[in-house]
């Protein structure tokens, strides 16, 4: 996780400005402005030919047009490449920040964003940000600078042509602002719907067996259909606005160019003998104005074509920024270190209090408790009394509201959490099995674990026969293809792999198992915990009878009861 740390700026405005590629803007604007010089040379070349000066006289302006074309292409290419580079690295930093914030959220925090939403925002929605930053920023600048430059030049030759452009131009930004405001709202709704749809689908796919078992397939299909229909409606709303904005801009741009052409045409016919500062426009001057008129509207039209990018991009940026807002976090969440010390850990709990986010009553209140290094204890208490919550607090998966936890005499705080957690073996309820092979589920990406360590852990947890039976066959998502007992053995192997844990925290390892399997898991667990401190939350008296001490936990406060 450490390598995901990023030097992303704290201030959002600074951050967004970093995402706008300034050099790219300058290069692309320069490329657009070069068209003015090219148009001038084209007009001069045609004017020269019309004046019967011969084709040779037009050779040097033609060569100039060609040379400028090459320079323009090079500037455009460099600007575009740079724009995408800057936008991509900005998105990477923002994505990393959001991923770090999400990864750091406490698993006990039920207000954290759903997995479907996170996946949707980090992948699908985030992909709208690069086109927005890379295209919209440069085009917006171009749309302010290039038309003004062209207007000033046209004004030098004809104030009427300049006036036509001046009147047509402001209508475009006004419409764009109106449409953009609607487009952003529509895009936000659409992205929200995409996230909801993903979260909904993921959740229902996970519970497919339950849905089938309870005959709720049709009802679920109806809900999926209703969700998809919502998404379709919001997508169509966004598209409607995008098409409308293009149509409006095309109309005004075409009208503007047509009016300039009409003026120049009638000026040559002698019908409109004004507007050229008392002179008559030459062929070259008229052509120059005619060539510049579409270029005057071009940046605005380009801007309108990415207007939809802006709406989607800003909405995605906001979604990603919301994801990056930190919430209730794991203690010392970002660090990932290898265990540097060995040996069992003592546990000291002093006046511990904890209340789940969004709830009124504390689950734990004023808990004091002492467990010797190497001691094996069982927590036995009614369901809902806070056993799992307590184990999570011991592992630093959430911050207590009051009191302290000391493992091996060291407080479980920001400074020590990562190091202490590296010495903890964790068997959750139920253990999470990832899709992949047995070996990859044991190693869990820990780089220090080689084939030998994995095989040794598999041997300790006695999953040899299982491994032989399955060979290299993959395990399905959520442990599909494994029995409950096999999944537990796999989780035991995970805890056994690598350096021996100083403290093993286990949540109801024998729940839902038949007696023989429960017995076998108990034996494996005790063998694994031989040189470790063991804390096991359980309702199983047979397992509890095998440990050194039982701690009873009445709801609301834990009371220590000697075995
Ligand atoms: N993430 C959470 N957010 C809010 N409340 C929670 C959360 N997790 C648990 N609770 C509540 O806290 C209380 C203690 O839950 P916990 O899972 O710690 O009990 P437990 O003793 O382990 O129960 P069981 O034996 O059934 O596993 C319960 O009332 C539960 O509803």
272-283 pLDDT per residue, tens = 788 778 788 888
Dist. CA 390 → ligand 1 center (Å): 10
Q: Is the CB of 42 under 6 A from ligand 1?
A: no
Strands of 170-223, DSSP E: none
Q: Which residue has the higher pLDDT, 481 or 87?
A: 87
The Cα–Cα gap between 182 and 176 comes to 10
Among 355, 358, 385, which is best to mutate for testing ligand 1, by the most ligand atoms less than 8 A from CB?
385
DSSP assigned state of 333: T
Please, are residues 27 and 79 in contact by the beta-carbon 8 Å criterion? yes
The Cα–Cα gap between 487 and 464 comes to 13
Please, are residues 524 and 462 in contact by the beta-carbon 8 Å criterion? yes
462 burial (CB, 10 Å; 0-12 / 13-18 / 19+) is middle
For range 220-224, the mean pLDDT: 83
> Mapping DSSP to helix (H, G, I), strand (E, B) and coil, where does residue 506 land?
strand
Distances (CA, A) of 84 to 70, 79, 90, 448, 536: 21, 9, 10, 37, 53
Q: Whose CA is nearest to atom 4 of ligand 1?
A: 356
| pTM of the model as a whole | 0.68
Structure ipTM? 0.95
Question: By C-alpha distance, which of 360, 366, 417 is closest to 392?
Answer: 417
The Cα–Cα gap between 394 and 388 comes to 10
Q: Where are the domains of the chain?
A: 2-323, 347-552
Q: Is the CB of 510 under 6 A from ligand 1?
A: no
Dist. CA 80 → ligand 1 center (Å): 54
Return phi, psi of residue 413, to 5°.
-130, -175
224-265 pLDDT per residue, tens = 888 888 888 877 877 777 777 777 778 888 888 899 999 888
Q: Whose CA is nearest to atom 28 of ligand 1?
A: 384
Please, are residues 502 and 533 in contact by the beta-carbon 8 Å criterion? yes
Ligand 1 closest atom vs CA 385? 21
Res 535: pLDDT:
95
Question: By C-alpha distance, which of 399, 404, 377, 385 is closest to 544?
Answer: 377
Res 15: pLDDT:
44
The CATH number of domain 347-552, selected from 3.30.1490.20, 3.40.718.10, 3.40.50.300, 1.10.1070.11:
3.40.50.300
Dist. CA 461 → ligand 1 center (Å): 28
> Mapping DSSP to helix (H, G, I), strand (E, B) and coil, where does residue 282 land?
coil
Question: By C-alpha distance, which of 119, 127, 113, 102 is closest to 198?
Answer: 119
pLDDT above 50 for 9: no
Please, are residues 46 and 287 in contact by the beta-carbon 8 Å criterion? yes
Distances (CA, A) of 206 to 108, 111, 265, 428: 20, 20, 70, 19
Dist. CA 363 → ligand 1 center (Å): 8
Helix (H) / strand (E) element for 271: namely: none
Q: Is the CB of 359 under 6 A from ligand 1?
A: yes
Please, are residues 395 and 501 in contact by the beta-carbon 8 Å criterion? no
Domain 2-323: CATH superfamily is ABC transporter type 1, transmembrane domain (1.20.1560.10)
Half-sphere exposure for 62 (CA within 13 Å, toward CB)? 10
Q: Which residue has the higher pLDDT, 41 or 498?
A: 41
Res 391: pLDDT:
93
Res 11: pLDDT:
42
Res 478: pLDDT:
74
Among 354, 361, 387, 430, which is best to mutate for testing ligand 1, by the most ligand atoms less than 8 A from CB?
387
Q: Is the CB of 110 under 6 A from ligand 1?
A: yes
Dist. CA 103 → ligand 1 center (Å): 21
Dist. CA 238 → ligand 1 center (Å): 43
- Would you place residue 559 in the very low, low, confident or very high pLDDT band (cuts 50, 70, 90)? very low
Q: Is the CB of 397 under 6 A from ligand 1?
A: no
Among 110, 364, 388, 556, which is best to mutate for testing ligand 1, by the most ligand atoms less than 8 A from CB?
388
- Please report how the helices 451-460 and 484-496 are oriented relative to each other, as an axis angle in degrees rounded to 10: 130
Res 35: pLDDT:
94
């Amino acid at each position: 996780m450490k390598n995901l740390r990023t030097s992303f700026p704290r201030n959002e405005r600074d951050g967004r400005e970093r995402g706008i590629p300034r050099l790219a803007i300058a290069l692309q604007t320069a490329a657009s402005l070069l068209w003015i010089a090219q148009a001038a040379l084209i007009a001069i070349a045609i004017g020269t030919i019309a004046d019967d000066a011969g084709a040779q006289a037009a050779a040097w302006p033609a060569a100039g047009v060609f040379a400028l074309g090459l320079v323009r292409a090079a500037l455009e290419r460099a600007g575009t490449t740079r724009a995408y580079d800057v936008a991509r690295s900005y998105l990477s930093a923002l994505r990393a920040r959001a991923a770090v914030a999400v990864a750091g959220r406490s698993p006990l925090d039920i207000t954290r964003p759903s997995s479907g939403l996170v996946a949707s925002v980090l992948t699908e929605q985030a992909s709208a940000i690069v086109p927005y930053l890379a295209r919209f920023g440069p085009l917006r600048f171009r749309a302010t600078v290039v038309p003004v430059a062209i207007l000033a030049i046209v004004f030098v030759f004809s104030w009427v042509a300049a006036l036509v452009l001046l009147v047509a131009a402001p209508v475009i930004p006004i419409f764009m602002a109106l449409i953009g405001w609607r487009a952003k709202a529509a895009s936000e709704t659409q992205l929200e719907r995409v996230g909801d749809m993903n979260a909904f689908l993921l959740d229902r796919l996970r519970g497919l067996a339950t849905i089938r078992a309870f005959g709720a397939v049709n009802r679920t299909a109806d809900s999926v259909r209703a969700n998809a229909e919502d998404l379709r409606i919001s997508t169509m709303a966004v598209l409607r606005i995008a098409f409308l904005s293009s149509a409006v801009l095309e109309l005004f741009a075409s009208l503007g160019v047509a009016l300039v052409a009409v003026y120049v045409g009638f000026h040559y016919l002698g019908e409109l003998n004004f507007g050229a500062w008392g002179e008559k426009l030459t062929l070259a001057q008229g052509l120059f104005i005619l060539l510049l008129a579409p270029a005057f509207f071009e940046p605005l039209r380009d801007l309108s074509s990415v207007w939809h990018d802006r709406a989607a991009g800003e909405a995605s940026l906001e979604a990603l920024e919301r994801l990056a807002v930190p919430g209730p976090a794991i203690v010392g969440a970002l660090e990932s270190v290898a265990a540097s010390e060995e040996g069992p850990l003592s546990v000291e709990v002093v006046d511990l209090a904890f209340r789940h986010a969004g709830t009124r009553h504390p689950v734990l209140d004023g808990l004091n408790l002492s467990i010797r290094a190497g001691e094996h204890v069982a927590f036995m208490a009614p369901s809902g009394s806070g056993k799992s919550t307590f184990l999570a607090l011991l592992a630093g998966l959430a911050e207590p509201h009051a009191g302290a936890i000391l493992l091996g005499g060291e407080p479980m705080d920001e400074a020590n959490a990562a190091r202490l957690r590296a010495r903890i073996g964790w068997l959750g309820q139920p253990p999470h099995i990832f899709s992949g092979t047995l070996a990859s589920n044991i190693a869990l990406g820990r780089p220090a674990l080689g084939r030998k360590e994995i095989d040794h852990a598999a041997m300790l947890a006695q999953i040899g026969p299982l491994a032989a039976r399955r060979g290299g066959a993959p395990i399905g998502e959520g442990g599909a293809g494994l029995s409950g007992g096999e999944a537990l053995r796999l989780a035991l192997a995970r805890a056994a792999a690598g350096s021996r844990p100083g403290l093993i925290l286990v949540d109801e390892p024998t729940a839902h198992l038949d007696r023989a399997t429960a017995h076998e898991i108990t034996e494996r667990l005790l063998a694994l915990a031989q040189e470790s401190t063991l804390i096991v939350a359980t309702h199983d008296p047979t397992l509890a009878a095998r440990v050194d001490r039982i701690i009873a936990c009445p709801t609301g406060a834990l009371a220590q009861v000697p075995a």
